[in-house]
Amino acid sequence: MNSISELQDFIINGHKHYMPHISIDAAIFGYHDHQLKILLSGYKALGGYCLPGGYIKRTETLDKAANRIVAESTSLTDLYLKQYKTFGDPDRIKWSELDFEKFSKEIGLPYIKDSWLIDQTISVGYYALTDFSLVTPKAGLLSDSCDWFNIDEIPPLLYDHDQMVKDALHTLRTQLYYYPIAEKLLPAKFTLTEIHAVYETLLGKKLDIRNFPKKLVFLGLIKKLNEKRNIGPHRAPFLYKFDLKKYTKALETGTTLT
């Protein structure tokens, strides 16, 4: 945590600059070498982890706010963040279960319960995918820590953030076939083994090694090149690349499937 007085000011006066009742939370997935991770912010005062999040300035678009919030809470910049769902269950944050006394003591403010922050809030969910080996997150203004967690070793999260992770991962998986989400995780030219590994890891399930690439080619998502990569004696698999023109055109008019 950077500065208690900055945080105090945010808690007391934040609603003058930020819209009350609305927050943003970001599910940032990281892939590298058959592993899928997610970025979690730790909050000592709240006694747990949640997705990096924050509030929207009255002068910002949602996308701009999402980028600023992620940069502030994780030190990651220039992420391709994509909105996926807004969460608005009135019971999503159980304020009655928050230990206000402990929280107030931690922050050094006696009247936190009256803050604009302690009210019904809907949250706009964003997700992103990056190569976790290339980035080292750091905690930001409001969080105490920020670390990559293996996707199957996520601790129980605060509020409704378990549901957020579930929905974000579902969106990532369904959108994998019509947005070139995985493109930045692969070299410009890749083998079928390489793209097979990425898709298997992101989807969290085994894919038929012979049938899977056929579908990608059939759908026009990847193109076979007239080039091979030499990876050993008698081993020179063909190279492929994403057909980004096809993706882009499909996104304008509908899907890649027509």
State in angstroms the smallest separation of the CB of 69 from a second copy: 13
CB of 19 to a second copy, least distance (A): 5
Between 13 and 133, name the residue whose CB sits nearer to a second copy.
Answer: 13
Q: How far is the CB of 157 from a second copy (least distance, A)?
A: 20
Minimum CB distance to a second copy smaller for 85 or for 223: 85
Q: H/E/C letters for each residue in the chain?
A: CCCHHHHHHHHHHHHHCEEEEEEEEEEEEEEECCEEEEEEEEECCCCEEECCEEEEECCCCHHHHHHHHHHHHHCCCCCCCEEEEEECCCCCCCHHHCCHHHHHHHHCCCCHHHCCCCCCCEEEEEEEEEEHHHCCCCCCCCCCEEEEEECCCCCCCCCCHHHHHHHHHHHHHHHCCCCCHHHHHCCCCECHHHHHHHHHHHHCCCCCCCHHHHHHHHCCCEEEEEEECCCECCECCEEEEECHHHHHHHHHHCCCCC
Nearer to a second copy, 17 or 228 (CB): 17
User: Considering beta carbons, is residue 40 or 201 the nearer one to a second copy?
Assistant: 201
User: Least Å distance between CB 57 and a second copy?
Assistant: 9
Question: Quick one: 149 or 178, whose CB is closer to a second copy?
Answer: 178
Q: Least distance to a second copy from the beta carbon of 163, Å?
A: 12
Q: Would you say 4 or 209 has its CB closer to a second copy?
A: 209
Task: For the CB of residue 59, give the shortest distance to a second copy in the complex, in Å.
Answer: 6
Cα 4 from chain centroid (whole Å): 28
Residues that bind a second copy (CB under 8 A): 19-22, 56, 58-62, 65, 83, 85-90, 120, 122, 124, 170, 173-174, 176-178, 199, 203-205, 207, 212, 215, 218-219, 251, 253-255, 257-258
